[in-house]
């Protein structure tokens, strides 16, 4: 019998569920712009067979990519998942309720609705109903001492009440569009558009989605409503996805369309027998920037002894494996390409030391 | 809010997260938080800088 190439598929090890964290709002060189960590996520998904990551990694405003190996899990729920408080259940399709800030001007509001209409007609997404907040949400941007971006809402109750209306109307996931403050002359914005500095919107965006997920237990994600910026001939490629149109919403709708359901766990022992759920106990690895290891998801993985791959990915933070005292427990990668190789070695049961030289004797 | 905490010398890193959540819970429910800096302060002690968004912040 002649060799068959089809036998190659049988030699691939089962998926190694892997968490990919690229914190938003800290100016990561890879992932601090418009979904520019997406190519890395695609590679890690191919290496692992199952990648769990958050909207900051996947959202490229007008640009997006759907991969059945990638689970789109909002940041607050990602933290809860890593802590063993939530499991994930795969779905064929979510029904996405659209929550619009009443503070969005009429034409800009229509632009958001047109994006939703396009996603229904062209991508076949299940979107609706549409709910408008009772009062403007009043987003405020701020910056921490570290340089990381944060934010606040003046009217959080209005956000939560609108979310409740969507949930009660049958939405199984929620896309939020909030009016963000404009400051096109801002030096920080110019720096961001030209490839340096921190995304000033990111912190507030995270707070909005975190609030909704905490309150409703549904997959949620956020897109800011902003007026188009003036043309910038020096626009960095990493920021380009946010300046292709009038809305950041398309990527959010695509991501949420197959975001897994969030299943609360009182304890990991409470996982229903036979349930097709993904829990933190199944994680095989976590991949995070070497200088940003102080977030809750990474710390939760350290509690579990999940293999940590720390990637060189500069940001405004310097919370390193050395400062945490975990250098002996961390595999360091100089790039996401190298991280993918380390991940594949984990998946295939190959000791990473055997792939490097010198190889110390026992 | 931003706060500084001294990392207890006898607290291993794999117990750091629940300890930090307990410290933050004194001020409110932690919604989003991270260690943003770790500074050595001599005698093997480390000072943690935390930035956090909390629900129902208690002044």
DSSP letter string, A169-238:
TT-SEEEEEEEPPP-TT-HHHHHHHTT-S--TTHHHHHHHHHHHHHHH-S-EEEEEE-PPPPP-TT--GG
Contact B17 A325 (CB under 8 A): no
Q: In chain A, which stretches have pLDDT less than 50?
A: none
B45 contact A CB<8A: no
Most B CBs within 10 A among A74, A143, A146, hence the mutation to make, goes to: A146
Q: What is the pLDDT of residue A267?
A: 59
Could you tell me the pTM of the whole model?
Answer: 0.93
Q: Closest Cα to residue B20, out of B42, B39, B4, B44?
A: B4
Contact B36 A146 (CB under 8 A): yes
Q: What is the pLDDT of residue A263?
A: 95
Domains and CATH numbers, chain A: 11-90+275-355 (3.40.50.2000), 95-259 (3.40.50)
| Minimum distance, in Å, between the CA of residue A121 and any CA atom of chain B | 36
Q: What digits encode the pLDDT tens for the residues A212-251?
A: 999 999 999 999 999 888 888 888 888 888 888 889 999 9
Q: What is the pLDDT of residue A147?
A: 86
| Minimum distance, in Å, between the CA of residue A22 and any CA atom of chain B | 13
| Minimum distance, in Å, between the CA of residue B18 and any CA atom of chain A | 9
Beta strand spans in chain A (E): 18-20, 51-53, 70-72, 86-89, 95-100, 126-132, 139-143, 149-153, 173-179, 220-225, 261-264, 277-278, 285-289, 307-311, 330-333
Beta strand spans in A10-118 (E): 18-20, 51-53, 70-72, 86-89, 95-100
Domains and CATH numbers, chain B: 2-55 (3.30.30)
B19 contact A CB<8A: no
Q: Is the ipTM value over 0.90, yes or no?
A: yes
Q: What is the pLDDT of residue A243?
A: 83
Least CA distance to B31: which residue of chain A? A210
B46 contact A CB<8A: yes
Least CA distance to B46: which residue of chain A? A323
Mean pLDDT computed over B4-28: 95
Q: What is the pLDDT of residue B55?
A: 87
pLDDT above 60 (res B49): yes
| Minimum distance, in Å, between the CA of residue A300 and any CA atom of chain B | 7
Q: What digits encode the pLDDT tens for the residues A92-132?
A: 999 999 999 999 999 999 999 999 999 999 999 999 999 99
Q: What is the pLDDT of residue A75?
A: 96
B-proximal residues of A, 52-111, CB under 8 Å: 75-76, 83
Q: How confident is the model at residue B58 (pLDDT cuts 50, 70, 90)?
A: very low
Of A76, A317, A323, the CB nearest to B31: A76
Of A144, A211, A302, the CB nearest to B13: A302
């Amino acid at each position: 019998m002649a060799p068959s190439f089809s036998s190659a598929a049988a030699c691939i090890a089962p998926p190694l569920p892997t968490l990919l964290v690229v914190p938003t709002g800290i100016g990561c060189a890879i992932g601090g712009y418009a979904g520019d960590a997406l190519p890395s996520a695609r590679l890690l998904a191919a290496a692992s067979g199952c990648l769990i990551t958050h909207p900051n990694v996947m959202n490229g405003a007008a640009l997006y990519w759907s991969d059945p190996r990638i689970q789109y899990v909002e940041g607050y729920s990602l933290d809860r998942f890593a802590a063993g408080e939530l499991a994930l259940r795969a779905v064929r399709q979510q029904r996405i309720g659209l929550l619009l800030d009443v503070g969005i001007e009429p034409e800009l509001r229509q632009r958001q609705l047109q994006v939703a209409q396009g996603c229904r007609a062209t991508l076949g997404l299940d979107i609706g109903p549409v709910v408008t907040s009772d009062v403007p949400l009043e987003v405020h941007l701020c910056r921490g001492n570290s340089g990381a971006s944060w934010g606040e809402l003046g009217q959080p109750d209005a956000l939560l009440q609108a979310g409740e209306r969507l949930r009660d109307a049958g939405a199984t996931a929620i896309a939020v569009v909030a009016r963000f403050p404009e400051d096109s002359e801002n030096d920080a914005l110019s720096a961001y558009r030209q490839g340096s500095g921190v995304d000033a919107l990111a912190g507030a965006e995270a707070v909005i989605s975190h609030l909704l997920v905490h309150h409703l237990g549904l997959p949620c994600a956020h897109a800011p409503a902003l007026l188009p910026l003036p043309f910038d001939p020096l626009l960095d490629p990493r920021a380009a996805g946010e300046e292709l149109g009038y809305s950041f919403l398309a990527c959010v709708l695509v991501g949420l369309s197959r975001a897994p359901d969030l299943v609360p766990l009182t304890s990991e022992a409470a996982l229903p027998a036979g349930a097709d759920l993904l829990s933190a106990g199944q994680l095989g690895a976590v991949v995070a920037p070497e200088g940003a290891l102080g977030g809750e998801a990474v710390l939760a993985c350290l509690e579990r002894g999940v293999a940590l791959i720390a990637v060189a990915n500069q940001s405004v933070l310097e919370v390193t494996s050395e400062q945490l005292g975990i250098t002996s427990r961390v595999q360091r990668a100089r790039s996401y390409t190298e991280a993918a190789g380390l991940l594949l070695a984990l998946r295939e049961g190959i000791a990473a030391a055997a792939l490097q030289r010198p190889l110390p004797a026992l | 809010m931003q706060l500084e905490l001294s990392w207890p010398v006898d607290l291993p890193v794999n117990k750091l997260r629940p300890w930090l959540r307990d410290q933050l819970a004194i001020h409110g429910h932690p919604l989003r938080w991270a260690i943003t800096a770790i500074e050595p302060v001599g005698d093997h002690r480390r000072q943690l800088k935390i930035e956090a968004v909390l629900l129902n912040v208690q002044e």
